[in-house]
Amino acid sequence: MVFDTGLTRSNLDCFLHCTTPTVKSQFLPKSEITSLNRLWHPSDTENVEYFTLSDLWNCYDEWSAYGAGVPIVLNNYETLVQYYVPYLSAVQIFTGNSPVNSLREETESGDGESDSSCDDSESDKLWRWDGGSSEDGGSEQDSVWHVNNRLGYLYFQYFETSTPYARVPLVDKINGLCGRFPGLMSLRSVDLSPASWMAVAWYPIYHIPMGRTVKDLSTCFLTYHTLSSSFQDMEPEEDGVEGAGGKRKEGDGISVPPFGLATYKMQGDVWLSGDFGRDREKVVSLSSVADSWLKQLRVQHHDFNYFTGIRRG
């Protein structure tokens, strides 16, 4: 069995590549560009590309049903395809609009779901962009400014806490939530603040051909993705397409690669032996970035704590 990606990418890079969604894109009407939040979209540009959250979830539709196939080259140069199913692990969506209850929260345990909300003053204290408490310098008006202009208002958040066996695939989970939170479908990446993010848990289901017993094939991954258009210009260019002077066209698609990563049950070296040792450094670096992101937003992410061995009392 021969793969066109297996020989040019390490196993880790293959996983990151095969599980990165490329979302159908659109260009914002020029009449709407001037109304963008300049703190979130500081650059002046004639074309602003965006995607809708509904199109993002569509990228996970087939993966949720059949798994995402990841080509893997084993140490004996045998090749196989390991399939991973995505599950929504966490998401926080910040917008520029203030709902009646600025903090809307979804949490789930193995026994069911619960909703909670708090008033604007509590939201200001919990979600300041600079990560400090509301008493750390400045007035109450300064605190409100930090939330409204830089972080935005927390429209929705969800943190999965149930066991993997009690979870449903990502698309099924989103479909179950969007009835109460329609913004999960209608919001656009240009509507979201830079603090908006999601984490996807990838659990292995099977590999083809069957019959191999490899410890690392039970490895689970946790990928972190930003949801705001604010970071689109920061994405690395692949294969020199942009550098060659070609202009992107509407519908080309926006790649949403992970900015952070955590792993669980990585017992061998299948994922770390490639790319001349740089994969090990990459895992450490991506995990550190994920940890820093969570600390900056002052949130406890259950899956990250579990994957990295952090135990909370």
pLDDT at 4: 45
Q: Do the beta carbons of residue 14 and residue 219 sit within 8 Å?
A: no
Residue 279 in any domain: the answer is yes
- Number of domains making up the chain: 1
**Chain centroid to CA 76:** 33
Task: Record the tokens describing residue 186, joined without a space.
Answer: 């209608």
Residue 258 in any domain: the answer is yes
Task: Record the tokens describing residue 99, joined without a space.
Answer: 């709902």
Residue 239 in any domain: the answer is yes
In our burial notation (b when 16+ CB lie closer than 10 A, e otherwise), range 239-263 reads eeeeeeeeeeeeeebbebbbbbbbb
Backbone angles phi and psi of 195, in degrees to 5: -85, -5
Residue 3 in any domain: the answer is no
**27 pLDDT tier (thresholds 50, 70, 90):** confident
> What does the angle CA 117 – CA 196 – CA 121 come to, to the nearest 5 degrees?
35
- Total-model pTM: 0.79
Highest mean pLDDT, choosing among 2-6, 150-154, 285-289? 285-289
256 against 105, higher pLDDT: 256
Q: Domain of 88? A: 11-105+155-307
Q: Note the residue count of the chain.
A: 313
Residue 113 in any domain: the answer is no
Rounded to an integer, what distance in angstroms lies between the CA atom of residue 230 and that of residue 22?
A: 17
Q: Per residue in 257-303, pLDDT tens?
A: 999 999 999 887 889 877 667 899 999 999 999 999 999 999 999 99
Instruction: For residue 107, list its beta bridge partners.
Output: 114, 159
250 against 18, higher pLDDT: 18
Residue 54 in any domain: the answer is yes
Residue 264 in any domain: the answer is yes
Residue 6 in any domain: the answer is no
In our burial notation (b when 16+ CB lie closer than 10 A, e otherwise), range 78-89 reads eebbbbbbbbbb
pLDDT at 312: 55
Highest mean pLDDT, choosing among 8-12, 35-39, 85-89? 85-89
Task: Record the tokens describing residue 159, joined without a space.
Answer: 């943190």
Q: Do the beta carbons of residue 249 and residue 213 sit within 8 Å?
A: no
